[in-house]
A and B are shown apart, each in its own frame.
Chain A
Amino acid sequence: GAGVSQTPSNKVTEKGKYVELRCDPISGHTALYWYRQSLGQGPEFLIYFQGTGAADDSGLPNDRFFAVRPEGSVSTLKIQRTERGDSAVYLCASSLQGAGTGELFFGEGSRLTVL
């Protein structure tokens, strides 16, 4: 497929568990973004990659959250010791160069539920 792919689409876990969410961006897009969206709210910025490096990780809420993009393509968002407040839809987006020059293409999101 040509779009941004996110897996899993749904994840239910227990409080305290470790979770990984994967994002496969559009081929050739150097910029990759992670957002978190709670019900009825707008997407909340978490982290932005340009290539392999995190250009801005100021939105990560605490050190339980970490994201990687080792080869400049697929990215994984990792959440340790999950809490009920982490329940949300995690959205990934990619862009050819970055939002400063063009649009973001979003995946369908990964819905995380922490029981």
Chain B
Amino acid sequence: SQQGEEDPQALSIQEGENATMNCSYKTSINNLQWYRQNSGRGLVHLILIRSNEREKHSGRLRVTLDTSKKSSSLLITASRAADTASYFCATDAGVGANNLFFGTGTRLTVIP
């Protein structure tokens, strides 16, 4: 299966701290995406990083990608209570593929 796995499964931090979530996947990819899901809601796209990129920033988000290790990390800096949600990485199946497979998710709780 192409599906990725996030680590840790759950993370609890204080407001203002940084949160780091990791994702590992199994096969070659064209791009890797991170999504956020509030409880009972649909998923919202956060950031996309292509296989030829190593790092990408968007506001308080920083994503890294190491294709040699088939892993990615999502860093949320200066966390807020509103960041409380589940975070998923998603990978395609390589160049030319348009399908997207999701990982198991990290449940982040930010304590005010």
Contact = CB atoms under 8 A, between A and B. Distances in A.
B58 interface: no
A105 B43 CA distance: 8
A33 B100 contact: yes
Given A56-B99, A99-B92, 14 more contacts: A33-B99, A41-B105, A42-B103, A43-B88, A45-B99, A48-B99, A91-B42, A93-B43, A95-B98, A100-B95, A101-B98, A103-B33, A104-B43, A107-B42
A42 B92 contact: no
A108 interface: yes
B57 interface: no
Interface of A: 4, 31, 33, 35, 41-45, 48, 50, 55-56, 91, 93, 95, 97-109
A106 B31 contact: no
B96 interface: yes
14 contacts: A33-B99, A35-B102, A41-B104, A45-B99, A45-B100, A48-B99, A56-B99, A91-B42, A95-B98, A98-B98, A100-B92, A100-B96, A106-B44, A108-B41
B61 interface: no
* Residue of B33, B45, B98, B105 ringed by the most chain A CB atoms within 10 A: B98
Contacts of A101: 98
B20 interface: no
Contacts of B103: 42
A49 B47 CA distance: 23
Contacts of B98: 31, 48, 50, 55, 95, 97-101
Contacts of B45: 103-105
Interface string B1-25: 0010000000000000000000000
* Residue of A100, A104, A109 ringed by the most chain B CB atoms within 10 A: A100
